[in-house]
Each structure stands twice: as structure tokens, then as C-alpha cells.
């Protein structure tokens, strides 16, 4: 008789606050669909307990865990190694545990890149990035490593945009420039992709970044990082003007696909995970 196994493989997320994070529902739907005997535990870990939580995951032989706010930078000091892009970005949101060693990755930008690749290859593209927070930083580095030609980073506080532009030019082949953001930003005619990586639009279907809407021309690719609501006002305005649009829900799903592949070496079903999240957000 085959030996029975009552022990699931363990994964999860460390963040605080954590109860509003729907990742567990999406990832476990992916596990079930793949018939993977694995669990994803959504843990509320306060900053003072991060080291104990990391040590606990190793002690309990977890396969890996995500790190969300406020741990993405702090966790690095407890890791054995950090992947190239995460090291450049200076933040880790996904840790794989292999033979007791902790390897840090950043899947924010990689998730965005996978999503973008469903409509275009960023190689050689001129890209405008709105925002200069954590999401923008991860996306900018990955776009640079993926061979984008030029990034224009636009942010209210210009010095944060300058810091990301410097990071990109120092660590990737891409060129990058920074612009302060006041008034309606007009996207230049030679830009091929516009990305909203600000938090404008989160939880507010009517919020719109300060953009000159007439500069959204047919053929421009307009992507938003906002996962909920997935169809932001920016994307609606862009679509009406003939742009190709890409929502932040795709980025979130792809980020989970990248992370779970790092943990299990197999790709889960993105459509099942996408539907699970879309259904949850539709109830908001
Ligand atoms: P941060 O707080 O680090 O950065 C927020 C950015 O938004 C800053 O550049 C800030 O500008 C800008 N911003 C906020 N309000 C305004 C405003 N009224 N006008 C102009 N700029 C504004 O957040 P993150 O980078 O971590 O996250 C940004 C968004 O990305 C969040 O909404 C998050 O939900 C989403 N996200 C989505 C992911 C996905 O998988 N889909 C993954 C990660 C994040 P300033 O610097 O001037 O304050």
C-alpha cells in the first residue's frame, strides 16, 4: 500500500496589516487546480517579529514566503542570497527556501513584465513611468534589464524620480531621465508605453492621474499597476482614445505565477488565479 501523506508543503505571506490581502485565495486556487498538496498561510507579522517569522519558516521547512509591507527591505538582512534584480531594486517580496538557504527575489517588476509581454516586448521601447515609489522602482529596473531603450520617470517629488533614473542608468543598458510632475502631464509623441505606477486609482474608479488626455493617442500602450478596481479611469480614458490597455490585476496574477514557480518549479494556471481574484474584487 502506498504510504499516505498528511503533510502539505507550506508557503505564505508575512505582512502587517495582512487581513485585507487576497493573495491566499488566488494562490490556493492555483494549487488546487494543479493538484499540488500545498498551503499558503497569510500571516500577520509585526516588524519586531520578522526575524522570528523568517527563522520559523526555515525551521518548519516552508518552501518559501512572500514579504509585503512593511518588510520588503528589512527582510534582506535575514537572507543568504538575493537575486540580481532584487539586489538592484533593494527590496525583496518573495523568498525561496532551498536546502535551508533563503534566497530573496523581487517579483513586482517581473510580474509587470510578464503582463506587458502579453501585448509587447519592452526591448528597444521608449517608456514613460508615472510614479517613483516601490512599484515604480521595481518596474523600472526590470524594464531596464529587459532592454528598454529609454525610461522617462515622472513624479511629484522629482528627487525620487531622479534616484530611480540613476539606478536604471547605473545598472542596466537603458537610458533614463527624471521629470517633476505639476499640472497635466503630456505624453510625448515618441513614447510607446505609458505606465501608471502611482497609487492613484486604488479603490477609486473615478480617480485619474494628472494627464493631458489628448496626448493619449491611438497605438500607445497604457498600463496601470492598480489591481482593484482592475479597470481604472485611466484605462477607460485610454481605451476610448484607441490605446492598448493593460490592467494591474494581470500584474498581480503574474507576480504570483513567478513566485510560485520559484517555489515549486512549475507554472500554475494563470486563468484560474485571475478569475479567483477578479471575482473577489467584483464583490467590493
Ligand atoms: P508608494 O507609496 O511607494 O508610491 C506611491 C507613488 O504614487 C509615489 O510615486 C507618489 O508620489 C505617487 N502618488 C501618490 N499620490 C499621488 C498624487 N495624488 N499625485 C501624484 N502622485 C501621487 O507605493 P507603491 O509604489 O508601493 O505602490 C503604488 C501602487 O502600486 C499601489 O496602489 C499598489 O496597490 C500598486 N501595486 C500593484 C501591484 C500589482 O501587482 N498590481 C504590486 C505592487 C504595487 P510622491 O513620491 O510624490 O509621493
49: cell is 517579529
Q: How far is the CA of 256 from the centre of ligand 1 (A)?
A: 19
Burial of 72 (0-12, 13-18, 19+ CB in 10 A): buried
Nearest partner of 112 among 235, 249, 218, judged by Cα? 249
Q: Answer whether residue 251 shows pLDDT above 90.
A: yes
The boundaries of every CATH 3.40.50.10860 domain in the chain are 9-105+252-282
- Which of ligand 1's atoms lies nearest the C-alpha of 249? 41
Task: Note the pTM of the prediction, 2 decimals.
Answer: 0.96
Strand 101-105, strand 94-98: pairing: antiparallel
Nearest to residue 63, comparing CAs of 262, 268, 266, 270? 262
CA of 223 to the centre of ligand 1 (A): 14
Output the CATH code of domain 9-105+252-282.
Answer: 3.40.50.10860
Taking the CA of residue 239 as centre, how many other CA atoms within 13 Å lie in the half-sphere pointing to its CB?
11
Kindly report, residue by residue over 58-101, the tens digit of the pLDDT: 999 999 999 999 999 999 999 999 999 999 999 999 999 999 99
Mutation probe of ligand 1 site: the residue of 135, 205, 226 with most atoms within 8 A of C-beta: 135
Is 134 annotated to bind a ligand? Reply is yes
State yes or no: 248 annotated in a binding site.
Answer: yes
Q: Mean pLDDT score of the chain, rounded to an integer?
A: 97
Residue 118 CB less than 6 A away from ligand 1: no
In 3D space, the residue among 255, 277, 213 whose CA is nearest the CA of residue 26 turns out to be: 277
DSSP state of 256: H
Question: Pick the catalytic residue: 72, 77, 101, 267?
Answer: 72
ipTM above 0.90, yes or no: yes
Specify the pLDDT at position 283: 86
Give the residue, by CA position, lying nearest to ligand 1 atom 12: 198
- Name the fold adopted by 109-246: Rossmann fold (3.40.50)
Expressed in angstroms and rounded, the spacing between residue 268 Cα and the centre of ligand 1 is: 28
User: Predicted confidence band at 220 (pLDDT cuts at 50, 70, 90)?
Assistant: very high
Backbone angles phi, psi at 239, to 5 degrees: -60, -40
245 close to 239: Cβ distance less than 8 angstroms: yes
What mean pLDDT do residues 139-167 have?
98
Q: CA-based angle 122:124:130, to the nearest 5?
A: 55
Of all protein residues, the one whose alpha carbon is nearest to atom 26 of ligand 1 is 134
How sure is the predictor about 2, in pLDDT bands with cuts at 50, 70 and 90?
A: confident
Tell how far the Cα of 214 is from the centroid of ligand 1, in angstroms. Answer: 24
- Buried b / exposed e across 147-161, counting CB within 10 Å, b at 16+? ebbbbbbbbeebebb
Cβ within 8 Å of residue 179, ≥6 positions away? 152, 153, 154, 155, 158, 161, 185
Listed in order, the ranges of the chain carrying CATH 3.40.50.720 are 109-246
222 lines ligand 1 (CB under 6 A): no
Does 93 appear as a known binding residue?
A: yes
Q: Is 225 annotated as a binding residue?
A: yes
Ligand 1 in contact with 200 (CB < 6 A)? Answer: yes
| 138 CA → ligand 1 middle, Å | 12
Q: In this model, does residue 284 exceed pLDDT 90?
A: no
In 3D, which of 262, 269, 223, 9 has the Cα closest to residue 116?
223
pLDDT at 213 over 90: yes
Annotation says 101 is catalytic: no
Amino acid at each position: 500500500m502506498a504510504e499516505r501523506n498528511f503533510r502539505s508543503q507550506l508557503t505564505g505571506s508575512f505582512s502587517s496589516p495582512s487581513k485585507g490581502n487576497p493573495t491566499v485565495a488566488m494562490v490556493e486556487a492555483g494549487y488546487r487546480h494543479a493538484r499540488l498538496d500545498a498551503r499558503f498561510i497569510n500571516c500577520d507579522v509585526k516588524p519586531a517579529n520578522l526575524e522570528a517569522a523568517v527563522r520559523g519558516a526555515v525551521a518548519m521547512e516552508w518552501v518559501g514566503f512572500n514579504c509585503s509591507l512593511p518588510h520588503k527591505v528589512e527582510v534582506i538582512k535575514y537572507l543568504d542570497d538575493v537575486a540580481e534584480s532584487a539586489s538592484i531594486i533593494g527590496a525583496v517580496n518573495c523568498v525561496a527556501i532551498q536546502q535551508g538557504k533563503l534566497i530573496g527575489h523581487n517579483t513586482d517588476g517581473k510580474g509587470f513584465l510578464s503582463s506587458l509581454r502579453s501585448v509587447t516586448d519592452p526591448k528597444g521601447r521608449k517608456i514613460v513611468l508615472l510614479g517613483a515609489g516601490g512599484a515604480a522602482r521595481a518596474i523600472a529596473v526590470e524594464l531596464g534589464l529587459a532592454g528598454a531603450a529609454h525610461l522617462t520617470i515622472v513624479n511629484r517629488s522629482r528627487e525620487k524620480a531622479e534616484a530611480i533614473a540613476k539606478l536604471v542608468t547605473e545598472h542596466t543598458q537603458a537610458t533614463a531621465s527624471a521629470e517633476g510632475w505639476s499640472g497635466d502631464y503630456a505624453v510625448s509623441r515618441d513614447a510607446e508605453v505609458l505606465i501608471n505606477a502611482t497609487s492613484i486609482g486604488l479603490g477609486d474608479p473615478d480617480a485619474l492621474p494628472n494627464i493631458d488626455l489628448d496626448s493619449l493617442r491611438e497605438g500607445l500602450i497604457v498600463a496601470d499597476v492598480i489591481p482593484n478596481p482592475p479597470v481604472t479611469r485611466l484605462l477607460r480614458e485610454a481605451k476610448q482614445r484607441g490605446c492598448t490597455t493593460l490592467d494591474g490585476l494581470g500584474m498581480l496574477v503574474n507576480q504570483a505565477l513567478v513566485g510560485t514557480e520559484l517555489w515549486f518549479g512549475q507554472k500554475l494556471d494563470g486563468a484560474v488565479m485571475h478569475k479567483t481574484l477578479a471575482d473577489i474584487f467584483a464583490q467590493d
